[in-house]
Structure 1
Amino acid sequence: MYTRILSVSSGDKYQVNIPIEFPNTSLSDFDRQMYIVKELHEKGRNIAYLEDKLWVSDRTIKEDIASLRNGISIMGQKIKVKGMERKRGNIEFESTVHPIFLALNLTQVVVVLQGLRHMTGDKAYKEYALRLSANIWNELSDYARRRIKEVCEMLSMDLSWYEELDSLNNEELFFTESECSYEEGTGNVLDYLKNGKKCAIEIKDRDGKSKILTNCIIKKYNPEREEIEVTSNGERFAINYASIVKIREEAKHLF
């Protein structure tokens, strides 16, 4: 914080202290782009706002946004911000991007990967956890991947998880909610829940008879009870995971 003194007259009587906060103008292109990504989590941000915050020209901001759309390289992988568009002059995302860069020791890496492996057991989280695990695994050095396998073998840990990650190759670091979802079962519950989107849900009862609920809003996801709470045309339902066949935007897309 810098303070400048504005003298209104030649005497000391009318001196005014005006605090002026200057932004960090030594940001690299990458730092500035990550700042933009985080700043755009908030609604109502436009290019003029970002110019004022970063003290750069509108041309620089537009170039940064173009770079984010086209993809910027980080450790051999890309962050490509999809679904970025202007609405009434403001810039918005289809799905917000949350860059996290960590420097971990190998034990911490194993802790994270084992935790994510556990989350793949939940069908709603499976694709999220799998893609994130693959990104982490791909960022590791050959030494790190080899060492993790060696130690896991000495500890009699199951190596199949790491062998599965070996077979996955995500070139991109960021995936939207819809890209981490799939239509069968509870595979896209979190997308509809988080975004409050209406959907149609096909369920099967114990006798194997199908039923379609329309105009659904998923209100709650309860992994402990293995059910979701849904409102449909003014009624409220608790639906067991096992009975969910498919969830789509509209009933006509369920076929």
Structure 2
Amino acid sequence: MRAANGAPERSEDMKVFIAGGRGRVGSRLADTLEAEGIEVVSGGLEDGIDVISGKGLAEALVGIDTIVNVLNTPRFDAEGAVSFFEGSIDTLTAEGVRAGVRHHIVLSIVGVGEGDASEVGYYLGKVAQERALRSAPIPATIVRATQFQSYIPVLIDQHTVDGKVLAPRSYIQPVALDEVVDLLAEAVTMPEPGSEVEIAGPDRFFHDDLFRATLAHRGDPREVVTVDGEGPVGAMVPRGAHRKGTVRYPITGIPTA
């Protein structure tokens, strides 16, 4: 139900489409919004919806007030990442305009908006995603987060070469996933879309220190080798005003940067 100005009358009258609603972020966000009385429609291949081709999307967006886009791709090459992130924005925008969607929220990454990560294919995709979102006619909000705390072991694996972990001496400020989800939920009910909000964890570390402590805590014997980073030391942490989480990384005694 909408008021005379087209806005949802109350949060329980809202209907939200989560692109990527069955994933790690989307499923938690769906639970949070539903607990607040907001109707949620999940959108992904598991739901018979393809946000690239548009299959099933028009039907899913009927009556939707807000799209929350937490889609991800396993493609880390520039061509694949840009094609996915840009293409999904274009399709969601086209169908969203037809459906009368009033707000499009995207989860992005701290640092990509500064252009420092432009040599990394995946980040190039996120830059393209943000650019496409800003140029679209649907009012948009960008929520940028630092690396999730729960993802650090996977990040370590991604930095492992020939059994050794190659870790840059650059900053990392991991944030708890639940705090990112809470911020996305806030963005859904905000009265005026159009902002850019960044969130990071409460503590800043160097990658190599964080990796060593995490491996030691897990009893993993892999050696961490400190290497030069590919960009500025603070490329992937906030540089200005941001939301600071309160949940600390679950391993104590790590030197802060």
Q: TM-score, normalised by structure 2?
A: 0.27
Pair member with larger Rg: 1
- 1 or 2 for the larger relative contact order (CA 8 Å, sep ≥6)? 2
Q: TM-score, normalised by structure 1?
A: 0.27
